[in-house]
Amino acid sequence: MRLQEQIKSDLKIAMKAKDEERKNAIRVVMGEFARLESKALSDDDVIKVLKKLIKSERELLEKTGGAETPFIGILEAYLPQMASEADILAWVRENIDLSEFKNKMQAMKPIMAHFGTQANGNVVKKILQQL
């Protein structure tokens, strides 16, 4: 089942269970899907939407000084397992020859292409700076 379909299915389950927090969080996500004007989004597109919503919620909480809400946890449950720093470092050492690049940061592109949405760009940048 694709991620977008899973989220839609979870909305129905949350409505039947009268889980207001989950229902409201999923409705926010579904609203973002509707805004993108695409009927079927790829899983990568759905993950980008989820990450954007989580980031904006965290920024809002930082500005207001509020405590973390269940909203973030609900959305994070749909994200794939992120690659660990050790996994990324091991892959870079096996597959990337940094001497081929004028600048270490140019190696970001093939690394991010390999890991996709499973790697945080800031973590990859930190690893490259350490090498």
Number of structural domains (the chain) is 2
61 and 93, same domain (yes or no): no
Q: Are residues 89 and 118 in the same domain?
A: yes
Write out the chain in H/E/C secondary structure: CCHHHHHHHHHHHHHHHCCHHHHHHHHHHHHHHHHCCCCCCCHHHHHHHHHHHHHHHHHHHHHHCCCCCHHHHHHHCCCCCCCCHHHHHHHHHHHCCHHHCCCHHHHHHHHHHHHHHHCCHHHHHHHHHHC
Q: Do both 64 and 110 map to the same domain?
A: no
- Considering 51, 76, 101, which residue would you say is the last residue of a domain? 76
For 65-90, how does the pLDDT look when each residue is reduced to its tens digit (9 = 90+)? 877 788 888 998 988 888 888 888 88
Q: What is the pTM of this model?
A: 0.70
| pLDDT for position 1 | 64
Both 29 and 90 in one domain: the answer is no
68 is in which domain, residue-wise? 3-76
pLDDT tops 70 at residue 34: yes
